[in-house]
């Protein structure tokens, strides 16, 4: 396994666990961290023993955004030429196995955007989400103005992006940004339990579900429904469909072959 400067990487059975680890800067994001994250995610994606991934930060911060000390003196040419932010983020969306974000503390700016790029978010009760870029004289640059309105509503997204205020875990759950809120001391356990449930299913089926739900964001409904039906039909060509249904009828637990 490669060693990382900004991440801790370990496996918990079939679950790959990645912890953002720049504690001095509240896990502020820089290109080096995202580069490492793409490598670590790619390694889990390629590892047959891993079937689901959990991405987390510290108790105080999932990530407090892009590193402001790094950005402060950037010029337009600096950010244009280096394709600042977007350069390496597409490596995250290329991952085919599910990624659960387990968010405690601050998820601000790029940190909120990173959580939203994951497949779903489980939040600790101390989590706080926001897009405070407006306060710095910039706007969100890694999907905040695009993924947030799709995840919540135009009203909530405008409110957060324009005022720069933070929303707490309860508000984030009401708004639909997070799938569940759990006590801080249960966060990692709960995320790993959810990932372990997912890891118990057929991996190709799980990847088809991820791919199909993601189509909902990228295609009109009619196209998405056609995509879903094609993939749905294809599941009947898998051994795992035979096994899943046989196990149900025989009142036993399924033993999926493709995991
Ligand atoms: N960048 C660099 N350093 C940071 C950042 C950051 N985003 N956030 C916190 N830190 C540092 C602080 O400077 C401080 O360092 P030091 O101890 O050396 O003074 C340390 O972390 C602890 O922070 P605080 O003392 O401020 O802790 P508090 O508990 O008082 O406050 C807050 C916590 C509210 C999170 C506060 O630190 C804060 O407001 N941080 C900035 C949040 C912010 O504006 N984030 C958005 C950044 S812009 C952005 O993300 C652009 C998005 C584009 C995507 C790019 C992804 C690569």
Task: Give per-residue pLDDT as tens, 218-244.
Answer: 899 999 999 999 999 999 999 999 999
End-to-end CA distance of the chain: give it in Å, rounded.
22
Task: Give per-residue pLDDT as tens, 60-70.
Answer: 999 999 888 88
Mean pLDDT, the chain, integer: 95
Distance (angstroms) between ligand 1 centre and the Cα of 150 equals: 26
- What is the structure's pLDDT at 254? 96
Confidence of residue 145 (pLDDT cuts 50, 70, 90): very high
Across the range 172-176, mean pLDDT stands at 98
SS3 131: coil
Residue 1: pLDDT above 70?
A: no
Q: Where are the alpha helices (DSSP H) in the chain?
A: 31-46, 68-71, 76-81, 86-93, 110-117, 144-151, 154-163, 169-175, 187-199, 203-215, 221-235, 239-249
Confidence of residue 31 (pLDDT cuts 50, 70, 90): confident
Residues in contact with ligand 1 by the CB-under-6-Å rule are 25-26, 28-29, 64-69, 85, 106, 108-110, 113, 132-133, 136, 140-142
Distance (angstroms) between ligand 1 centre and the Cα of 184 equals: 21
- What is the structure's pLDDT at 66? 86
Residue nearest atom 8 in ligand 1 by C-alpha distance? 64
Atom number of ligand 1 nearest to Cα 33: 57
Weakest-pLDDT range from 29-33, 193-197, 203-207, 218-222: 29-33
- What is the structure's pLDDT at 87? 84
- What is the structure's pLDDT at 70? 85
């Amino acid at each position: 396994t490669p060693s990382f400067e900004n991440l801790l990487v370990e496996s918990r059975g079939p679950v790959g666990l990645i912890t953002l680890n720049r504690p001095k800067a509240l896990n502020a994001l820089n290109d080096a961290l995202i580069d490492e994250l793409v490598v670590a995610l790619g390694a889990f994606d390629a590892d047959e023993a891993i079937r689901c991934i959990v991405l987390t930060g510290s108790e105080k911060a999932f990530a407090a955004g892009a590193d402001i000390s790094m950005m402060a003196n950037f010029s337009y040419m600096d950010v244009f030429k280096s394709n600042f932010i977007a350069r390496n983020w597409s490596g995250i969306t290329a991952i085919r196995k599910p990624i659960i974000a387990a968010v405690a503390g601050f998820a601000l700016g790029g940190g909120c955007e990173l959580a939203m790029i994951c497949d779903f978010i489980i939040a600790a009760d101390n989590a706080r989400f926001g897009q405070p870029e407006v306060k710095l004289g910039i706007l969100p640059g890694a999907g905040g103005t695009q993924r947030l309105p799709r995840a919540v509503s135009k009203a909530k997204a405008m409110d957060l992006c324009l005022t720069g205020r933070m929303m707490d875990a309860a508000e984030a759950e009401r708004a639909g940004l997070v799938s569940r809120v759990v006590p801080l001391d249960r966060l990692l356990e709960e995320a790993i339990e959810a990932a372990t449930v997912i890891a118990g299913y057929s991996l190709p089926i799980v990847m088809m579900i991820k791919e199909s739900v993601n189509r909902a964001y990228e295609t009109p409904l009619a196209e998405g429904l056609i995509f879903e039906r094609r993939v749905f039909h294809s599941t009947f060509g898998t051994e795992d469909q035979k096994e899943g249904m046989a196990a149900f009828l025989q009142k036993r637990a399924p033993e999926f072959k493709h995991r």
